[in-house]
Chains A and B, each alone.
Chain A
Amino acid sequence: MHFHFCSKHSIKSAEKSDILKQQLIIIISNRKEVRQLSQHKNIRTASEEIQWTSRTYGAVIVLIAGLCLLCLGAFLSISLGAADIHLRTVWEAIFHYQPTKTSHQIIHDLRLPRTAAAALVGALLAVSGAIMQGMTRNPLAEPSIMGVTSGSAFAVSIAFAFFPGLSAMGLVLWSFAGAGLGASTVMGIGMFSRGGLTPVKLALAGTAVTYFFTGISTAIAIRFDVAQDISFWYAGGVAGVKWSGVQLLLIAGAVGLTLAFFIARSVTVLSLGDDLAKGLGQYTSAVKLVGMLIVVILTGAAVSIAGTIAFIGLIIPHITRFLVGVDYRWIIPCSAVLGAVLLVFADIAARLVNAPFETPVGALTSLIGVPFFFYLARRERRGL
């Protein structure tokens, strides 16, 4: 009623955003109706239903439960391993550190950075996957499937071969460049291909790009005799991470996650479709650009520290979306927490499966992720 007296131009921005919200709610609820209608036609299982509303309580519960699990995982991760350390010692080592005790030293120099790195890498990859899926509306989008990780590993192998003795920071920069190269290659293929980037095309383009980059980097590795340094990057793991690595992850994570929170709202709108987002007045290309930047920062940092760890960026956002709804302001933090939980526990498993030897954690996450990938591939409806 209020609107009738205002001309279009004089609507204040607060009201404008209210209108946008209303439109969004209408669109969302329309979609819900459509889905409900379509449910009458073909019977679907309950697990396949996607909630189009966001669930704040659910999100808060997920966050709290996730953080509790993360704490538990962290303590387990610190105490379990080649030398089992009692939980009380863990507590003492963290809060009353005595440099003279061996167990305290192990905890301080090996276990703590390893655990922190696992949590951070998991969080970074999960958020990276969530943003990719939201932006591209593609349920199969994920750093390792999309060739981002292999691009990053490619750059790292070049750095190893031609610039030996590069500092950790330099390596990370190379890794960023490679991640950007991989992402833009796959995106470019999508842009120039007929019919756009469908999930299948994305997966295939990612596979081809991965073959290409892996081919070149393996050839470089064999030629320059750095195969062993690089094979670590392909196996993926957080076993040897030092505090400097954790610092790098923290910085990249802080930058990337902050940016991610800023564009979270826009990603939510974008995840409804490009046309819709444009119709609601969004600069979609700007949002996509920032989104890609975030993906490159997060993935580049994660790969430079822990190598290729696949499928976390695929599984976690799907689970999160199932738990907390479609609002990326909740999906992003919840994905971060759940990703951290998954990788911390996967890392514990990597130590215990074949003790005293380490199983590459990247291979473990693949084995967890593949069945999930099958589930997504078999699903008829491929929207988000």
Chain B
Amino acid sequence: MKTKTNKPLIVMAVTFLLIVVVFFISLNLGVIKIAPLKTLQVFFGQGTARDELVLFEFRLPRIILSLLVGAGISVAGAILQSVSQNELAEPGILGINAGGSLAVVLFIYFFQGSASDLSFFGTFMLPFSALAGAILAAFLIYILAWKKGVTPIRLILVGIGVNAGFNALLLIFQLKMDPHDFMQAAVWISGSIWGANWNMIWAILPWIVILLLFTLYKARYLNIMQLGDQLATGLGTAVEKERRILLLAAVTLAASCVAAAGGIAFLGLIAPHVARRLTGPRHQTLIPVSAFIGSFLFLLADTLARNVLAPSEIPVGLVISVLGAPYFIYLLMKAN
């Protein structure tokens, strides 16, 4: 028994170390390379002005955002999978991200004029508009999949349809923008840490921290709910009520991530899966481990996206898609 209780801690410690390693690699790499020693110097306040600027204004915010978004998406995926008892559920495939993306693109298009000069207030409004779109998408999926109850299969099929519909609308609006905004929107929809500055971090940090804590608090309900509706009801859970609350938490988490990083697919699927493999299905450990693994994977993918094809930068969402799709297909082939 003792080994079992220690395992999640070990996994978290290892993942944390990995995050620290990638964190420093990511700080060093980029168009301007900064040697590890210099990085440390900058942190102790003895670096050159240029290095300070690069590290504190460009790289560090981006890394912190990556960690936050990775954690948020993964936990959203973990909740969705347990609540729908469907191991293929994920905010990207279900179309929740697409709804959030559409709302953000519309918000920028109508209220901000251009994505490049987003005001301070506008940045803080982004999560709210993403939330509105994501909730609309989730609501549509729920309503359209409802037919004397919601079966997991119908949920996913309807999600694919909602995804296609929102993407078509996005395309129509995108083509009305001027070329610069068009490119920006295209990159952003593919998933990219775009507005990497401290404002953005302050705008989404509270959402993600509060919701992560809330999910941890609700972990015991998630444990019971993944056993199935009947058993959960029998154990005295108000299944439908808890499900709605947890769904709302997942959608809100996904929406705040969409506001910061656009549509990231597959991460919400992979991280919880790996976490479940490593530490088992108890949500008290599954949720934090998913968050750690998600942060690690996202930071790794973003570092790759910045450097693999340098000096061009590819949207991090594409890296995750290309790496995540095969894993998804593998799961699909295994599933009955």
Binding site for B on A (CB under 8 A): 140, 145, 189, 192-195, 199-201, 203-205, 207-209, 211-212, 214-216, 218-219, 222-223, 225, 227, 231, 234-235, 310-311, 354, 357, 359-360, 362-364, 366-367, 369-370, 373-374, 377-378
Contact = CB atoms under 8 A, between A and B. Distances in A.
A192 B175 contact: no
Interface in B127-185: 144-145, 147, 153-154, 156-158, 160-165, 167-169, 171-172, 175-176, 183
Contacts of B234: none
B183 A227 contact: yes
A223 B314 contact: yes
B328 A208 contact: yes
A219 B332 contact: no
A223 B307 CA distance: 12
Contacts of A360: 171-172, 175
Contact of A218 (B147, B157, B266, B318): B318
B325 A208 contact: yes
B144 A218 contact: no
Contacts of A192: 333
A127 to B, nearest CB: 22
Nearest to A234: B171
B329 A205 contact: yes
B17 interface: no
Given A211-B265, A222-B312, A370-B165, 4 more contacts: A200-B157, A214-B318, A366-B168, A377-B145
Contacts of B324: 211
Which 10 pairs from chain A and chain B are nearest by CB? A366-B168, A193-B333, A212-B325, A377-B157, A215-B321, A370-B165, A215-B318, A363-B168, A215-B322, A373-B161
A145 B163 CA distance: 12
A227 B313 CA distance: 13
Contacts of B25: none
Contact of B172 (A363, A377, A378): A363
Contacts, number: 136
A246 B88 CA distance: 42
B186 interface: yes
Contact of B147 (A207, A211, A216, A378): A378
B45 interface: no
A214 to B, nearest CB: 7
Nearest to B305: A219
Contacts of B183: 227
A378 B93 CA distance: 18
A194 B325 contact: no
Nearest to B182: A231
Main secondary structure of the interface of A (DSSP, over half): helix
A231 B186 contact: yes
Given A235-B171, A359-B172, A374-B158, A218 B190 contact: yes
Interface string B296-336: 00000000000001001111011101101110110011111
Nearest to A193: B333
A370 B140 CA distance: 13
Contacts of B336: 194-195
Contacts of A195: 335-336
A135 B163 CA distance: 27
B164 A235 contact: no
19 contacts: A205-B329, A208-B328, A211-B265, A211-B266, A212-B321, A214-B321, A215-B318, A215-B321, A219-B319, A227-B186, A234-B171, A360-B175, A362-B168, A363-B168, A366-B165, A370-B162, A370-B165, A373-B160, A377-B154
B154 A357 contact: no
Contacts of A219: 309, 314, 318-319, 322
Contacts of A231: 186
A378 B88 contact: no
Contacts of A362: 168, 171
A169 B88 CA distance: 41
Nearest to A190: B333
